Amino acid sequence: MRQPLFSVVRTGTGDLDLLAGNDFTQRSPYGIYTAGTRAAARADDADFHLPRAKGPQGTVLNGGYDIFEQFVDSQSLYRAWYPDHGGNLRMRVQGDARGDTIGVRGNMRRTTDELGIFRKQMPSAMLGNWLWRQGTGSVVPGAEGVPTAWWINFGSYVAGHEGTTYDLGGLWPYLVGFTGIGTLGGGNLVFETGGNAGMMEQMGDHSATYVARSQGLHLAVGSTGRVTRAGELLLTGGGDLDVRIGGTLNPAPEVRAVPASTTWQAGSLQRYDRMRLDLNGVFANLRGALRLESGAVGGIELDFGTPGPKDSRALTPYVAGSSIASGGPVLIPGDAGVRLDARGDLVLGGVADPGRVPTLTHGTPFSANGTQHPGEGWTWFSLWTPSTAIDLFSAGGNLTPTLGWTDLGDRTNHQATDGRFVYPAVLRALAASGSLYYGSASSGVRDESSNGPVLSPWSLTLAPSPVGPQYAVKRTAQLELLARDSIHAAGYTITPSGADPSRLVDPFQPGFAALGGELWYGRELIHNTAADALLPSIALDGQNSWLRFPLFTLTSPSVADVAPAGQPPSRFYALEGDIVGLRTGSIVYRGSNTGVATPNGLWYEGAGPVAIRAGRDIVGAGTALGEVDLVPSEGAGWRGRDFPGRPELPPQPQTLNAASARGNLIVHRHADDVSVVEAGRDIRNSSFHIAGPGELVLSAGRELYMADKGELKSLGAIVNVKPGDRSSGAGISVAVGVGRDGPDWAGFAARYLDPKRRAASGQPFADQPGTALYSYGGELTLAGWLSQQFGYGGDEAGADAYLKRKQAEIDGQRSEGGGSTRRDLVREFGLAEGLHLVNWLRDRFGGRNSQGRHFDAATMDAQAFFAALPPEQQQVYLRNVYFAELRAGGREYNEEGGPRRGSYLRGREAIATLFPAQGADGSARRYQGDLTMFSSANYYASSSDPFTKRPQAGKSYLRRDAWTAAGRPSDIGVYDALDAGIHTNFGGNVNILVPGGRTLVGVDGGFVPGEGSGVLTQGAGEVQIYSLDSILLGQSRIFTTFGGGILAWSAQGDINAGRGSKSTVVYTPQRRLYDDAGNVSLSPTTPNTGAGIATLNPIPEVPPGDIDLIAPLGTIDAGEAGIRVSGNVNLAALRVANAENIQVQGKSTGVPVVAAVNVGALTNASAAASQAATAAQDAVQRDRAAQRQALPSVFTVRVLGFGNEPAGGEGGGGGAGRERSGAAYDPKGVVQVLGAGALTTAQMQSLTPGEQRGLKR
């Protein structure tokens, strides 16, 4: 039976040079390294030189192999080595360099050749072959515990774990140790080739199924460590790894990837799109620096005929939306920074943590619960530090940062240890001349059932940057994916983790799991896994598992209450191209495959703000409405399964049987966090959720097309949640059609913040161009505000007491039936002071913030401080000033006796300042683009059928929640409502700017939207909209439900409240919190109904909200859905329609009188126009009479005839009468009457369905 054994060329403390004028080629496994010398002896050496652990048979090698047992028992030469002072190793080759790497066989079939039966092998480049570890952590503390250590195994036997069904040598031991080129006891490693390196010719079978072997390189710099019982960390070894390749690393496409088929015929066409990353080569440095420079690393073959998996646009033949990336090596850094530079393509296979890779030993001897166990105790810990980072740079090609998901083989370095792949905290990748491809956009693998791309559930997470006294530096996580052209992400999730960095497994608090005695479910599991964390695979499958050791063992991967200052945003930049299928951050639904919350709870994965910028389009970002992303069950935590009827027995650990996720999720920790999503052209079919405070800003140069695929949602706080908190959530701001230059925020700030540009009082504002009626650059005190509102003449010291007395006075008048509107003076002052620069800076930067800035109003200049802020910070403030000017301009139009009554000048000046017609260089600025969102549904005739967009005729359907509540009846179909919308659930404003088009919130007809459609603030938040053209609601809604106001300004179009259903119930999101004792706290549930435009105050303590609607050139139409106002309303337009459908609890301004017309005296059109009279009818409760004379009246005219009709008694049958009628009406004339005569097809299409039915009658 054939098993390849490795040979060794080594020195100790001396240097080792290998120089070749031509090529270097390995023909068999070799270990070429410097070993160093044994570290100085210590009194506690016995703690770190334990005997080999034994298996369940009581032997190291599983029994029955006594001939080998003598080489590994306590009497053998085996020992743990902690070497130091190793020599340097230098290899210089002028030609090509080839290694010899053995991988895991992908098939258990026995193969025979002239040398005998080839047994199944373990990967020769697996780090666990030569780096072994021990430690029991918190499971066995104190004197009985095993201290943490990791050491070098230069060569020893381990037990075989395979059965003999397919491998006659399955239980025979393996010889494992280091094979490759390295400095294991310390020392620098320099590897240089003038030509190519790595995989150039085939060494195994064509599919790497039976004989997995390659020419991949294995280069390593080793290091060891020990943690004494006194808590002292001892490190030995380490050095730099410098790799320079003149040509390409792994240059041959037909070798660095394998075809799906296991059969091969000469001349046959094969698609090489399967990856075997264990054959691509490994570069490891446990302590030092790793630098690789090459002409190319692997390669990326572009596919111009296949669109990106998440691209909804038409195929562009000159854009490669997909690719096949291959040949990327696996990196294993410890306390090391890694940098890979390539002149051409750069592909990274995967990254592993050296303290959590699989090992093939029986673990560590340990003692637990008073029982000594000779083995089967496994430990793991992260060797990453704050200095560990991955930097990737492609100067002239394309770049793929990960291929890990393409190879899920067991016992490999790069495994998905946490139900997700984990990288160090810092990942920076730059394609300076090309694009980034990852996820299914970097693989040609197709789903066999749908022939579509494979969307992997195995996401990529960046670990939190570790913290602790053992680290000399402290850094934050950093994620940067930058491309000159495009980012093709294909829906693959890359997320920085927001978990608690102090609870990651490390040498001072390692993870530990062991197998004890027999219980009702099998071997007892002894472990220190937290209840909401991730179990190691040993806990589930025993030693014959994939040997996955998670980073998140002591804490969950969900966001923790940790807010590191200086956290940079995660950056995704496509300078000149598109970002397609971006996914970052997730809401994980534990225990559900359908995205429904279960008693297992939710996990929120993400960390810090994001900056997403594309020169062209952002398409398919996040999870589309009606879809979920699957999560591997081992990535969603675990639970204990009790023995039925025997609760006293220990529960069996099990993973949750299902999990799903939605994204994108952005997690803010500070009130000044701002996330930016910006496209030079369109944002299409994209979703973003934001948790925490701050602001989410979306900007599209042309269109924001959410359709029925996208939503924007602010979730509020997700850590340290207070049940009654409805004001701490992030705001959402949207700017659409702003062109490539965007709004002129600098010009706007210059005009409205500079007190020198304030208009002179007493002079017409129109005669003072470039000035502002009010300067916001100063400070507003409480005393000053009270003086403006109530004539308060005292100082600041007495202002607070005066405000309380005034509030009590207003409340008393209201309780006595005085008719005054309810007011919240504290809230009103808060809104007013937030518009003044000094107040805003003090509130935002006066204390702790993410920027590390501090503003002191007493010693610092507010204007200078503001000018130094990043643009996105400035815009948060200026946006509110802009809308304040619009609101003031709309109210001035209706102000009785005001200086600008009947004029929109103030608002129009603000609009012209922010959106100038010309740039500073005189070039024309163009604003064009719409905001579009609407609702639809996916209909399922049965649970096994694919969905359709329309219901089947004669089939009954229930919405999914109702269908589930009804017991999932098989004879009734189910539908999922897809409600596009912009929501803030627990605080935060919604600001919308559409300076070049219309704002379409919903459409008429079709699917009736559910409660999730439209623009809603379901906490304390305002809705503020500016649109060039119409603001149309269709069947949707614009609501504030907890005290916010609504401002909408349509510069050239109408504001139409639509014809939505009044019976739709909109529920406010409910918070459910559990304390340590299991007590439940619930926030109030306050359902609201209807559609249209409304400011609602569903519970008494909610302050009223005002509505300001301005359409200078159009109509404000309350429609069938209506306008409901809990506070005051101000309407300014050419015409207000359906005023009877406006309900106001406060003061009404600009709402016209509804007139009733006497039609008895009307005999023809001119008489109807001259004799119509207005009969007043109040449509509101109060304050209207004084304003009627100044408002335009609304006349309703009914045309009874044109004067040439026959008398009523003559009937209509006479021929003369018909002739006169025909002469009077010319269907080709200037005036046409729809319905006179037969209707054309075009005329029929202009009618509503109800009107068409009326004609048929």
Burial of residue 71, with CB atoms counted within 10 A of its CB: 0-12 exposed, 13-18 middle, 19 or more buried: middle
- Residue 721's pLDDT is 87
Residue 1163 pLDDT > 80: no
- Which of 380-389, 444-453, 780-789 comes out lowest in average pLDDT? 444-453
- Which of 109-113, 478-482, 627-631, 1030-1034 comes out lowest in average pLDDT? 109-113
- Segment (H or E) for 525: strand 522-527
Residue 264 or 1085, more confident: 1085
- Residue 294's pLDDT is 98
pLDDT band (50, 70, 90) for residue 233: very high
Task: Encode pLDDT of 1187-1231 as tens digits.
Answer: 444 455 555 666 666 555 554 444 444 443 333 334 455 655 555
Residue 670 or 1257, more confident: 670
- Residue 169's pLDDT is 58
What would the mean pLDDT of 934-938 be, rounded to a whole number?
94
What would the mean pLDDT of 1108-1123 be, rounded to a whole number?
96
Q: Which amino acid type is present at position 1208?
A: G
Task: Encode pLDDT of 23-61 as tens digits.
Answer: 999 999 999 999 999 999 899 999 999 999 998 888 888
> Highest-confidence range of 747-756, 914-923, 1143-1152, by mean pLDDT?
747-756
What would the mean pLDDT of 428-439 be, rounded to a whole number?
97
Task: Encode pLDDT of 989-1023 as tens digits.
Answer: 999 999 999 999 999 888 889 888 999 999 899 99
Return d(Cα 650, Cα 644) in angstroms, integer: 11
Mean of per-residue pLDDT scores for the chain: 87
Write out the DSSP string of 603-640.
EEE--B-EEEEESS-EES-SPPTT--EE--GGGS-EEE
Task: Encode pLDDT of 688-698 as tens digits.
Answer: 999 999 999 99
Q: What are phi and psi of 650, to 5 degrees?
A: -60, 140
Contacts of 565 (CB under 8 A, 6+ apart): 848, 849, 850, 852
Task: Encode pLDDT of 141-191 as tens digits.
Answer: 877 899 999 999 999 998 886 555 445 556 788 899 999 999 999 999 999
- Residue 1155's pLDDT is 53
- Residue 541's pLDDT is 64
Return d(Cα 382, Cα 551) in angstroms, integer: 7
Contacts of 381 (CB under 8 A, 6+ apart): 133, 135, 148, 355, 356, 505, 506, 507, 509, 510, 511
Q: How far is CA 863 from CA 378, 743, 831, in A?
A: 60, 20, 21
- Which of 373-387, 600-614, 713-727, 787-801 comes out lowest in average pLDDT? 713-727
What would the mean pLDDT of 1096-1106 be, rounded to a whole number?
85
Residue 1241 pLDDT > 80: no
Strand blocks (E) in 810-860: none
Residue percentage of the chain with pLDDT more than 90:
64
- Residue 1180's pLDDT is 40
Burial of residue 644, with CB atoms counted within 10 A of its CB: 0-12 exposed, 13-18 middle, 19 or more buried: exposed
| pTM, 2 dp | 0.89
Residue 589 pLDDT > 90: yes
- Please answer whether residues 388 and 426 qualify as being in contact, where contact means their C-beta atoms are separated by less than 8 angstroms: yes
- Residue 1029's pLDDT is 98
How many degrees, rounded to 5, is the angle at CA 1240 between CA 1237 and CA 1241?
Answer: 150
How many degrees, rounded to 5, is the angle at CA 730 between CA 728 and CA 731?
Answer: 120
Using N-to-C axis directions, what is the helix angle for 871-894 and 905-914, rounded to 10°? 160
| Residue tagged 């399922």 (tokens) | 940
pLDDT band (50, 70, 90) for residue 218: very high
Q: What is the 3-state secondary structure (H, E, C) of 1089-1116?
A: ECCEEEECCCCCCCCCCCEEEEEEEEEE
Residue 1159 or 703, more confident: 703
- Residue 146's pLDDT is 94
pLDDT band (50, 70, 90) for residue 1061: confident
Q: How far is CA 1068 from CA 7, 255, 726, 982, 1042, in A?
A: 70, 58, 10, 14, 9
Task: Encode pLDDT of 893-903 as tens digits.
Answer: 999 989 999 99
Write out the DSSP string of 868-901.
TS-HHHHHHHHHHHHHHHHHHHHHHHH-TT-TTT
Task: Encode pLDDT of 530-574 as tens digits.
Answer: 999 999 988 876 545 568 999 999 999 999 998 887 889 999 999
Strand blocks (E) in 801-943: 931-933, 935-940
First to last CA, the chain: 91
3-state class of 828 per DSSP? helix
- Residue 1215's pLDDT is 41
- Which of 17-21, 524-528, 584-588, 768-772 comes out lowest in average pLDDT? 524-528
- Residue 165's pLDDT is 47
- Residue 684's pLDDT is 98
- DSSP label at 1171? H
pLDDT band (50, 70, 90) for residue 266: very low
Contacts of 728 (CB under 8 A, 6+ apart): 692, 693, 716, 717, 986, 987
- Please answer whether residues 179 and 185 qualify as being in contact, where contact means their C-beta atoms are separated by less than 8 angstroms: no
- Please answer whether residues 609 and 668 qualify as being in contact, where contact means their C-beta atoms are separated by less than 8 angstroms: yes
Residue 1119 pLDDT > 70: yes
- Residue 196's pLDDT is 98
| Residue tagged 């100038």 (tokens) | 916
- Residue 81's pLDDT is 96
- Residue 820's pLDDT is 62
- Residue 1227's pLDDT is 58
Return d(Cα 1183, Cα 624) in angstroms, integer: 48
pLDDT band (50, 70, 90) for residue 410: confident
Q: What are phi and psi of 776, to 5 degrees?
A: -95, 5
HSE of 1150 in the Cβ direction (CA atoms, 13 Å)? 27
Whether omega before 62 lies within 30 degrees of 0, making that bond cis, reads no
Neighbours of 566 (CB within 10 A): 10
Task: Encode pLDDT of 953-976 as tens digits.
Answer: 989 999 988 898 899 998 999 999
Write out the DSSP string of 459-471.
-EEEPPPP-STT-
